[in-house]
Amino acid sequence: MKKLSMKILTFLLVVSAVSTLSVNVLAQDIVTPQRYEFCTVCHGASFQGNSSIDAPNLSILSSTYIKQQLTNYKQSIRGTLPDDIIGREMQPMTLELSAEEINAIAEFVGDLPDKLAKATVEGGDVVRGRRLYAGCSACHGLKGEGNEAMKAPRLAGQNDWYLFRQLQSYKQRLRGDTPGDMPGAQMLSASQMLADDRAILDVVFYINTLAN
């Protein structure tokens, strides 16, 4: 689980001068180790997600979940089905990561300050969404906070467009349909309770209300 406290940036004294521009080093700030900076190219400078690249918010996720997913990608359990275009963009990133590197990335990302995504979907029915979410809360928690024991990731604060696409992917068997992905298989069956895109929209719309 993550520390919810937002870090406050404090400024140290000027430590170096570049031409005549002053450079301030910011203290008490979690800095991405240089060898994992490439993750931020897609997932955003603060791991907050990037809709232009279809890369989700990682800052809110736990190290256990990150580790599991990176391992799934590396073992071709996730991101290999022909129509999973976006998953297949992520998959090659993991092929050359060692188990230690996966651990280190998971530890680091798990400790990041949470950056809560802004809502982008419109027009959902929050009442119907809440009703539908009752089926999700057993694993993902009443407040969408996630549940380690159930291997269920946090949903509150995740990018709504990502949640939307993942629910579609599960329904279309683009995710969760590979041997070795038990939690994915569970999620695949759970997603069938959402009849159509309208139902997905409503539930995602409701999840957006959980972030605060």
Binding site for other proteins (CB under 8 A): 9, 11, 18-26, 29, 31-34, 37-38, 40-46, 48-53, 55, 85, 88-89, 91-97
User: How far, in Å, CA of 93 to CA of 204, rounded?
Assistant: 28
Give min distance, CB of 63 to other proteins, in A: 20
Task: Supply φ then ψ for residue 41, to 5 degrees.
Answer: -60, -40
**Is 177 within 8 Å of 87 (Cβ atoms)?**
no
User: How far, in Å, CA of 52 to CA of 50, rounded?
Assistant: 5
CA 120 distance to own-chain centroid: 16
Task: Supply φ then ψ for residue 100, to 5 degrees.
Answer: -65, -40
Could you identify the residue written with the tokens 């680091």?
108
User: Of 43 and 140, which has the nearer Cβ to other proteins?
Assistant: 43
Name the nearest CA neighbour of 75 among 168, 179, 189.
179
Give min distance, CB of 179 to other proteins, in A: 21
User: Of 171 and 175, which has the nearer Cβ to other proteins?
Assistant: 175
User: Of 96 and 196, which has the nearer Cβ to other proteins?
Assistant: 96
User: Of 44 and 146, which has the nearer Cβ to other proteins?
Assistant: 44
Name the nearest CA neighbour of 56 among 198, 154, 177.
154
Give min distance, CB of 175 to other proteins, in A: 17
User: Of 41 and 127, which has the nearer Cβ to other proteins?
Assistant: 41
Give min distance, CB of 3 to other proteins, in A: 18
Give min distance, CB of 58 to other proteins, in A: 11
